[in-house]
Amino acid sequence: MSWDVIGQQLWNGLLNGSIYVIFAAGLSLVFGVMRVINMAHGELTMLGAMLLFTVTDLVGLAYFPGAALVVLVMALAGFLVNRVTVRPFLGHSELVVILSTVALSFVLLNGSLVVWGSGPKGVEKPFNEIVQVGGVYITTAGLLLVGVCFAAVMGLYLMLTHTKLGKKTRATGQNLLGARLIGINTTAIYDTTLIVASGLAALAGVLIVLVSSATPNLGQPLLITGFAVVIVAGMGNVAGAVAVGLFMGVTEALFGQFVSTYYRQGYLYVVMIIVLLLRPQGLFGRK
C-alpha cells in the first residue's frame, strides 16, 4: 500500500468527518438541552442542500449569498419545528416526540421528492481548483468545507461556554425545573436551541454540495451516521460528538479503502455496538 493512498483517504475522511461533526453537534445539542431525539435533523440538512440548489440554479444567486440566505431561513424554520412538532408533545412520553419528528421527516422527504424529483442536483461551486499536496489531491472547495465546519463548531462551543445565553442553555439542559425556578425562560431557550440546531443542519447541507450533489435522499443515511456518532460520544455531549465525528469520518474512509467498501456504513455501527457493550453511557458520557 502506498502512503499516497492513505493520505488521500485521510483527506476524504476529513471531508466526511467534518460534515459528521457539524451534523452530530446539532443533533447532540437538541438532545442535550431538550432530551428530544430529532428524527427530522437529516431532512433539515437535505433541505439546506436542496434550497441552495433552488436559489443558485433557478433564482441565480451566487454560492455565498445563497448559502447565507438558506442557512438563515432554515434557522428560522427551526422555530416552527419546535412549535409544531416538539413543544406540543413535551410532557408526554418521549416516544410521542420521536414519532412527531419522524412524521416531519417523512413530510419533508416526500415533499422534496415531489418538488425536486429524486435525481441528484449539482450546485455551482464558488471555486474548485485541485491542489496537489505530496501525492494527495485536495480541492479548494473541500478546504472551504473543512474550514467552515470547524469555525461553526468553534462558534457553537464559545457560545455555550462564554455567553450568558449559552450558559442558560446548558443550565436548562442540566436541570429544567431548576432553570425554571431561577427565572430562566425555558420556552425561549428551547426555541433558540432548535433555531441553532436547524441552522447548523442546513449549514451541513450547503457544505455537502461543495463535495457532492444535492438529492432529497441525502438526509436519511446522514441521520443514521449522526446517531452512531452521538451515541458513541455520549448522548448530549457536544464536544464529544466533535471528536467522535472526526474519528468516524477518517476511520470509515480507511476502512472503505483497505477492508471493504461494501461494509463501510456497517463499520460505524460495529464501532457503536462495541462502545455500547464496553461503555453504555458512551465514550464521553456520564452515567
Using CB under 8 A, list all residues that contact other proteins: 164, 167-168, 170-171, 174-175, 177-187, 286
Instruction: Give CA–CA dist 42/227, Å, rounded.
Output: 10
Q: Which residues of 100-119 are buried (b: 16+ CB within 10 A; e: fewer)?
A: bbeebbeebbeebeeebeee
Cell 476524504, residue? 12
169 vs 225, which CB is nearer to other proteins?
A: 169
219 vs 285, which CB is nearer to other proteins?
A: 285
Kindly state the smallest distance separating residue 71's Cβ from other proteins, in Å: 28
29 vs 146, which CB is nearer to other proteins?
A: 29
Instruction: Give CA–CA dist 9/91, Å, rounded.
Output: 46
Enter the C-alpha cell of residue 91. Answer: 410532557
Instruction: Give CA–CA dist 148/146, Å, rounded.
Output: 6
Kindly state the smallest distance separating residue 198's Cβ from other proteins, in Å: 24
Amino acid at 231: I
115 vs 180, which CB is nearer to other proteins?
A: 180
Kindly state the smallest distance separating residue 134's Cβ from other proteins, in Å: 43
Kindly state the smallest distance separating residue 29's Cβ from other proteins, in Å: 15
Kindly state the smallest distance separating residue 184's Cβ from other proteins, in Å: 6
18 vs 237, which CB is nearer to other proteins?
A: 237
Contact 47, 160 (CB under 8 A): no
Contact 29, 196 (CB under 8 A): yes
Cell 433557478, residue? 58
